[in-house]
């Protein structure tokens, strides 16, 4: 069957099997491999992308169900090469180690910040409660989201320097 | 990779269209709403519908509104809608209690109340809420609509009275002024199915229980309800001893199974304890004491 949808602002059209999952559609048919494919059971949340403005677990949505809808993936977070403040936050606060969960975390956290620009730790932990991270213990992810909340214009907004630096534990900056 | 067996995909543009498609394609067709129960079953080949009818365009079934002396909830209302509804929060805190512990915020963006009832998972939370509140479900077919009490809706695990060419369109809950309600659940980890859960509503006449409803899930309670416990409590003073006695009656009427979520005796213990917690909180809320 033919499906047509808007992906990151561009209309795409492909011939697919009705049973094709949305996560495989964006990865294998569109080459947008930023969205990761994890547990396949809607538990881990690494496949989270937006459909019509809301985050969904794309391993549990058919590409056919996205026909006529609007999709946004992690590839769309930056603006003209300038990383989203959230992406900067994950760099600043070591919000990832292996990075496998990161695309899903970013898409969910961006949705949270769009609705609630100043979430507390409980609200952050609640919104990512359906997403697994096996590296960070979530602590640094929460800090990263808070960093983005406190820097809505990113590092450039308050002159904190370039985004390829991360604070060391003693407060000194280390250039990556 | 988990992939469903091949099927034909159809998309319904209206309720009538959905019913017509169901009738045309016969019993091997299934409706899909949020899909977060059905698609995992299809991936595991536990469900292999030949035709999948997508009803996500039926946004006219997405509403939560006061309709006379009842609250009407459209079957396509998402879990997130129920959690955020000021109307439900005003009348029945049990909904937000339950929704807060159903899956996770992302899944709640997709899953629907209609899908939850029709999936008829024996551990499903809203089925216990509907049983506790004495909800009535509106089912539409070719010959019009019929109303089915929530306590007669399920015919067994994963089975309901909804016929092959019928669609659940609405869930109706009577408004009970002054009612307190609550839901209590124990799960293995955040977002998991219940090991056991209980919901209740309660109205008071002075210090006495005027009316009460109790729902249970995941513990093999017939039709997700506990009528003997309700009968034991109705008309009695709302003392902690009486609540505990009723909770015990509710626990004794369950028939939980030992599985990976726990042994049967533990689940029966939870059924009693969680019923007691839901009743206590319902009483407190009916008295206007705290959240």
Q: Which of B174, B207, B236 is the last residue of a domain?
A: B174
The whole-chain average pLDDT of chain B stands at 97
Q: How confident is residue A166, by pLDDT bands cut at 50, 70 and 90?
A: very low
Please write the tens of the pLDDT for every residue from B225-268. Answer: 999 999 999 999 999 999 999 999 999 999 999 999 999 999 99
Residue that is last in its domain, among A41, A76, A111: A76
Structure-block tokens of residue B128? 């216990």
Span B129-143, average pLDDT: 97
B206 and B154 share a domain? Answer: no
Chain Cα centroid distance, residue B60: 21
Contact check, Cβ <8 Å, B109/A41 = no
According to the model, what pLDDT value does residue A139 have? Answer: 97
How much is the ipTM here? Answer: 0.93
Q: Distance (Å, rounded) from C-alpha A155 to C-alpha A165?
A: 10
- pLDDT of residue A107 exceeding 90: yes
Residue at which a domain ends, from A43, A76, A109: A76
- Is the per-residue pLDDT at A164 higher than 70? no
In chain A, the number of structural domains is: 2
Does residue B203 lie within any of the structural domains? Answer: yes
Q: What is the largest CA-CA distance in chain A?
A: 57
Share of chain B above pLDDT 90, in %: 98
- B193 within a domain of the structure (yes/no): yes
Cα angle B218-B224-B230, degrees, rounded to a multiple of 5: 125
Last residue of a domain, one of A50, A76, A102: A76
Please determine, for residue A114, whether its predicted confidence score (pLDDT) is greater than 90.
yes
Task: Report pTM.
Answer: 0.93
Mutate to test the interface with A, among B105, B119, B193 (most CBs of A within 10 A): B105
Domain with residue A112: its CATH number is 1.10.150.120
Chain B, 166 to 225: residues with Cβ < 8 Å from chain A are: 190-191
Range of the domain at A16: 2-76
Query: Using 50, 70 and 90 to split pLDDT, how confident is the model at A172?
Result: very low
Does one domain contain both A19 and A51? yes
Q: What is the mean pLDDT of residues B61-81?
A: 98
Show residues of chain B in contact with A21, CB under 8 Å.
3
The whole-angstrom distance between residue B96's C-alpha and the CA centroid of its chain comes to: 12
Do B199 and B221 belong to one domain? yes
- The domain containing residue B22 runs over which residues? 8-53
Instruction: Compare all CA atoms of chain B with the CA of A123 and give the residue at the minimum distance.
Output: B105
Cβ contacts of residue B278 below 8 Å, gap of 6+?
Answer: B94, B182, B183, B184, B198, B199, B200, B214
Are B188 and B252 members of one domain? Answer: yes
Size of interface A-B (CB pairs under 8 A): 76
| pLDDT-wise least confident of A142-151, A160-169, B34-43 | A160-169
B3 within a domain of the structure (yes/no): no
């Amino acid at each position: 069957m033919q499906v047509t949808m808007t992906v990151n602002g561009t209309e795409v059209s492909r011939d697919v099997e009705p049973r094709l999952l949305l996560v495989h559609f964006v990865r294998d048919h569109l080459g947008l491999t930023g969205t990761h494919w994890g547990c396949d059971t809607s538990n881990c949340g690494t496949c989270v992308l937006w459909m019509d403005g809301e985050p969904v677990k794309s391993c549990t949505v058919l590409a056919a169900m996205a026909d006529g809808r609007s999709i946004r993936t992690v590839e769309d977070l930056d603006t003209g090469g300038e990383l989203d403040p959230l992406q900067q936050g994950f760099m600043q606060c070591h919000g990832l180690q292996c990075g496998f969960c990161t695309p899903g975390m970013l898409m969910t956290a961006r949705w949270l910040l769009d609705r609630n620009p100043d979430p507390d730790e409980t609200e952050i932990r609640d919104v990512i409660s359906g997403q697994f991270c096996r590296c960070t213990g979530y602590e640094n992810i929460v800090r990263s989201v808070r960093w983005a909340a406190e820097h809505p214009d990113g590092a450039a907004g308050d002159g904190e320097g370039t985004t390829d630096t991360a604070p060391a534990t003693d407060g000194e900056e280390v250039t990556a | 990779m988990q992939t469903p067996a091949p099927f034909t995909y159809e998309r319904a543009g209206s309720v009538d269209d959905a019913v017509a498609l169901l009738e045309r394609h016969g019993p091997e067709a299934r409706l899909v709403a949020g899909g977060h129960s059905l698609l995992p079953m299809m991936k595991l080949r536990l469900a292999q519908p030949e035709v999948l009818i997508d009803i996500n365009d039926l946004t006219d079934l997405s509403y939560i509104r006061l309709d006379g002396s009842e609250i009407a909830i459209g079957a396509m209302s998402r879990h997130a809608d129920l959690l955020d509804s000021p109307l439900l929060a005003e009348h029945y805190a049990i909904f937000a209690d339950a929704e807060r512990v159903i899956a996770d915020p992302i899944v709640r963006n997709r899953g629907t109340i209609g899908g939850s009832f029709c999936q008829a998972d024996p551990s499903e939370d809203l089925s216990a809420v509907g049983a506790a509140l004495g909800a009535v479900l509106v089912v539409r077919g070719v010959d019009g609509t019929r109303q089915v009490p929530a306590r007669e809706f399920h015919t067994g695990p994963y089975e309901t009275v909804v016929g092959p060419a019928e669609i659940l369109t609405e869930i109706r809950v009577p408004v009970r002024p002054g009612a307190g309600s609550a839901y209590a659940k124990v799960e293995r980890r955040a977002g998991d199915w219940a090991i056991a859960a209980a919901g209740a509503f309660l109205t008071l006449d002075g210090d006495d229980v005027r009316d009460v409803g109790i729902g249970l899930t995941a513990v093999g309670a017939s039709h997700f309800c506990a009528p003997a416990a309700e009968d034991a409590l109705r008309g009695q003073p709302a003392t902690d001893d009486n609540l505990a006695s009723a909770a015990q009656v509710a626990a004794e009427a369950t028939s939980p199974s030992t599985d990976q979520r726990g042994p049967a005796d533990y689940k029966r213990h939870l059924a009693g304890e969680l019923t007691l917690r839901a009743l206590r909180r319902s009483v407190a809320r009916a008295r206007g004491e705290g959240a």
